[in-house]
Chains A and B, each alone.
Chain A
Amino acid sequence: MAECVNDSDTERPISYGDYIVLRRGDVFKSVQIEQKKKVIFEKQWFFLDNAVGQLYGTMFEIEAGGSLKLKAAKRTGNSVGNEESKEAGQDNRHIVDDGRSQKLTRDDIETLKEQGLKGQEIVQQLIDNSTTFKDKTEFAQEKYIKKKKKKYESDVTVLKPSTRLLAMMYHGREPGKICHLRYDTLAQMLTLGNIHAGSKIIVFETCAGLVLGSVMERMGGYGSVIQMYPGGGPTRAGMESFGFPSHFHDTLHEFPMCKVNALLAGTLELSEKDVDSQASGNGQSDSSQETLGVLEEKSSKPQSMEVSTDPEEETKRAERERLREQRAQEKKVKMEEKRKKLASAAAQLEGRNADGLVIASRFHPCPVLLGMLKFVAPSRPFVVYSQYREPLIECYTKLREQGGAISLRLTDSWLRHYQVLPNRTHPMLLMSGGGGYLLSGMTVAAGTSKSKNQQKSEEPAAKRQKLDEISPSFGSAT
């Protein structure tokens, strides 16, 4: 793949292997371009091969047979029904719903489609054959056209992936996979975490890699990201969808959550033996491959004993032997790579001087936050996402007790979209509550005083007294 350091200045055409985002209206889908790969988007299937060589941001039409064709002139669609809309009714007092206003039957429409008529032409046909269209108000006509267009037109725009597109896509299509993290909440996380080029950020997420990807985008390949992962390995599908150039991946480290205690205690084993045992536990594919090889070996043995004189069999045996050795070698290399990776991630963490911490997972955030905060330098922001408020209340309380963090804020945001049209401006849909909650704060140097004292002195005296006064009176007031 051709890499450009500053892709915003260089125009690189769409090529095979690229991760792209398809858009129609406000629906998105992320795919990787492969030769002759069938893609299903918005109930239509097509091949992306014709997009290769074109520039990002190009709009295509889907033709019969699933090939893409460059959409010739943009915004020709706006002219649909324009002549008609000169004639419009004032209100709907004479419009009766008898179910017979459309003269085309379902079969007629199917035939039109089979004839390979363009979406735009079908919409025009529907308008021409609607008896009530002319009586509709201008606004109703516009709405009718918009609705039909959405159904029959088959434009697809190929876009370069970005946090905005992928966060909106995940939220729209698979919110469960990203713990219902809404894009405005993700935006808060990246800003509150002061994510920027050159810093060292710890990320723990179970949001399919979306949060990781968005952090990496903001780092622009400068600095380092340490992904903490639960279980066998990190999840990165969302991050892969960004299609970062390869040098971005050099800045990404991974560290298994289950080794955090060992690292903190200084007992983390980075010898080969240790990694061996870990790999046999995690890398199942490796070990199963091995047993397969062994089995093969065993079954072939008696056979080869009998006809050991056969030179052909002999060469086959030698070939097998060679393959087995090669596999063992490969495994060794893999193991060594894994050990190196672990060692480099451990080295990143050991300094305990990370510049930020971002947590967004389905796990209870409290132990994660308290554990990970130990790796963060003082005077650095951290931000924790949870779909639920209660676990963050617990985090807040524990952090207050423990000290080492200030400016704690528990927040959620409220997002409202607007329809803005001449004489028809109003809020579109309410999206309250679903965006999740954030706990953010700033680390500070842990005082020398004991934790009990620390708790007391967390806030300056005057404020603390006030708070203490408030809590009991709050309960008894009512």
Chain B
Amino acid sequence: MSFVEYSEFIQEGDVVIIFLGHDSMMPIKVQSGAQTQTRYGVIRHTSDLIGQRFGSKVTCSKGGWVYVLHPTPELWTVNLPHRTQILYTTDIANITLMLELKPGSVVCESGTGSGSLSHAILRTIAPTGHLHTVEFHAQRAEKAIQEFKEHKVSHLVTVRNQDVCKEGFGVSSVADAVFLDIPSPWEAVTHAKRALKCKGGRVCSFSPCIEQVQRTCEALLDHGFEEICTLEVLLRVHDVRTVTLPLPDFGPEEGSTDSTQMASNVSQEEVSKAGNASVICRTAIPPREMAGHTGYLTFATKPRD
């Protein structure tokens, strides 16, 4: 297992995602002899996991069962231990596309935070790209290094423990793309420019507040960045449901005003017996509540020097 390469069977030392059903998952590290408690009973790593195929069903001690999944950056994003606020898949997807990331890209990122975006970047730029990530919080930087090692992606990433606004990314003229998720991105724009290749590149800044965006855009314009564009993407998850719509009773009458007939595209079977006639209909319901705002994404292009 690696976050940048699929494998078929579970091995000792792998990180696997245990799928407990309906948005309920947990990540575990496979170690021979170890046990993991779930609400369906205990999972014994040696007998239940090692050597099993990813995606197979594992029966727990209480007779319940779970699926074991191969880790992906997307699964990791919803399972990782939070050390900071993290970026979620919707924003990550747009950042990846708009920064034009692909295998071989060299990317600078700050801050590393909990490594949610970092894993997604590493997946995309492998096997020939590199990520230079900067985190000013020593403990977080240390934890990130450890995670990258466990996830077998450490050869693709360099973590630097420094302040990006003061010391920059620690590299110059190497990056195809720069990503900023820090409180004052405008203070890092010069460093972003320096980190990007002479032939130019893309930059993205993520900020929750419009005042931050305003200052960042000004800084970008002052430093000669082009194609400055701010956008926001929201994801709606629809709940697929079967709903029953009762039909009104107009009372007995000959002729056509039968409400069962007025309900179009309803097969006769779906209309239950007289008295409480109703129509069963399959639909998708938008969420009652949803994330209405994560952050503004500001993109820009650094032109050729």
* Chain A residues near B (Cβ < 8 Å): 6-9, 11, 55-58, 74-75, 162-164, 167, 183-184, 186-188, 190-192, 194, 196-199, 217-222, 353, 355, 377-381, 389, 392-394, 396-397, 406-418, 420, 422, 425, 437, 442-445, 447, 459-461, 463, 470-472, 474-476
**Chain A residues with CB below 8 A from B64, complex form:** 460-461
Q: Are B21 and A459 within 8 A (Cβ)?
A: yes
**Chain A residues with CB below 8 A from B304, complex form:** 55, 57-58
**Chain B residues with CB below 8 A from A377, complex form:** 6, 8, 55
Q: Which of A58, A222, A413, A443 contacts B234 (CB 8 A)?
A: A413
Q: Are A219 and B103 within 8 A (Cβ)?
A: yes
Kindly identify, within residues 8 to 52 of chain B, every residue whose CB is under 8 Å from any CB belonging to chain A: 8, 19-23, 40
Q: Are B243 and A475 within 8 A (Cβ)?
A: yes
Not counting A187-B94, A425-B210, a sample of 8 additional A-B residue pairs whose C-beta atoms are within 8 angstroms of each other reads A55-B199, A163-B100, A183-B97, A198-B4, A377-B6, A410-B240, A445-B56, A447-B57
What's the Cα separation between A412 and B233 when bound, in Å?
10
With a 10 A CB-CB cut-off, give which of B19, B93, B214, B280 has the most chain A CB atoms: B93
Least CB distance, A435 to chain B, in whole angstroms: 10
Q: Are B103 and A164 within 8 A (Cβ)?
A: no
Q: Are B123 and A196 within 8 A (Cβ)?
A: yes
B241 contacts the other chain (CB 8 A) = yes
Kindly identify, within residues 217 to 263 of chain B, every residue whose CB is under 8 Å from any CB belonging to chain A: 217-218, 224, 228-246
**Chain B residues with CB below 8 A from A417, complex form:** 229-231
Q: Are A191 and B98 within 8 A (Cβ)?
A: no
What per-residue 1/0 map shows which CB atoms of B263-278 lie under 8 Å from chain A? 0000000000000001
Kindly identify, within residues 118 to 150 of chain B, every residue whose CB is under 8 Å from any CB belonging to chain A: 120, 123-124, 126-128
**Chain B residues with CB below 8 A from A163, complex form:** 97, 100
Chain A residue at minimum C-beta to C-beta distance from B56: A445
Range, interface on chain B: 35 or more
Least CB distance, B198 to chain A, in whole angstroms: 9
Choose the segment among B68-76, B108-116, B164-172, B182-190 that binds chain A (4+ C-beta atoms closer than 8 Å). Answer: B68-76
**Chain A residues with CB below 8 A from B100, complex form:** 162-164
What's the Cα separation between A413 and B54 when bound, in Å?
30
**Chain A residues with CB below 8 A from B241, complex form:** 470-471, 474
Chain B residue at minimum C-beta to C-beta distance from A167: B97
Given A197-B103, A413-B234: A418 and B213 within 8 A (CB)? Answer: yes
What's the Cα separation between A414 and B280 when bound, in Å?
29
What's the Cα separation between A188 and B22 when bound, in Å?
21
Chain B residue at minimum C-beta to C-beta distance from A475: B244
**Chain A residues with CB below 8 A from B74, complex form:** 191-192, 194, 381
**Chain A residues with CB below 8 A from B56, complex form:** 378, 444-445
Q: Are A409 and B237 within 8 A (Cβ)?
A: yes
**Chain A residues with CB below 8 A from B284, complex form:** 389, 392-393, 410
Chain B residue at minimum C-beta to C-beta distance from A404: B55
What's the Cα separation between A396 and B214 when bound, in Å?
42
Q: Are A463 and B21 within 8 A (Cβ)?
A: yes
**Chain B residues with CB below 8 A from A470, complex form:** 241
What's the Cα separation between A184 and B90 when bound, in Å?
9
Q: Which 9 A-B residue pairs are closest in the complex by CB-CB distance?
A: A378-B55, A475-B244, A220-B103, A379-B55, A191-B93, A187-B97, A379-B54, A460-B21, A418-B230
What's the Cα separation between A393 and B239 when bound, in Å?
9
- Give 21 pairs: A residue, B residue, CB < 8 Å, sorted on A: A6-B104, A184-B97, A188-B90, A188-B93, A191-B89, A198-B6, A199-B6, A378-B53, A378-B54, A379-B54, A379-B55, A410-B237, A411-B236, A412-B236, A414-B236, A425-B210, A444-B57, A444-B67, A460-B40, A460-B64, A471-B244
What's the Cα separation between A58 and B305 when bound, in Å?
11
**Chain B residues with CB below 8 A from A406, complex form:** 19, 21, 67
What's the Cα separation between A43 and B283 when bound, in Å?
46
What's the Cα separation between A413 and B128 when bound, in Å?
31
Chain A residue at minimum C-beta to C-beta distance from B2: A198
Q: Which of B89, B229, B303 contacts A57 (CB 8 A)?
A: B303
Least CB distance, B75 to chain A, in whole angstroms: 8
Kindly identify, within residues 55 to 106 of chain B, every residue whose CB is under 8 Å from any CB belonging to chain A: 55-57, 64, 67-70, 72-74, 89-90, 92-94, 96-98, 100, 102-106
Q: Are A425 and B55 within 8 A (Cβ)?
A: no
**Chain A residues with CB below 8 A from B22, complex form:** 459-460, 463
What's the Cα separation between A192 and B283 when bound, in Å?
23
Q: Are B240 and A190 within 8 A (Cβ)?
A: no
What's the Cα separation between A116 and B218 when bound, in Å?
35
Q: Are A190 and B93 within 8 A (Cβ)?
A: yes
Least CB distance, A456 to chain B, in whole angstroms: 13
**Chain A residues with CB below 8 A from B234, complex form:** 413-414, 416
Q: Are B55 and A445 within 8 A (Cβ)?
A: yes
**Chain B residues with CB below 8 A from A217, complex form:** 102
**Chain B residues with CB below 8 A from A221, complex form:** 103
B181 contacts the other chain (CB 8 A) = no
What's the Cα separation between A260 and B37 when bound, in Å?
43
What's the Cα separation between A418 and B213 when bound, in Å?
10
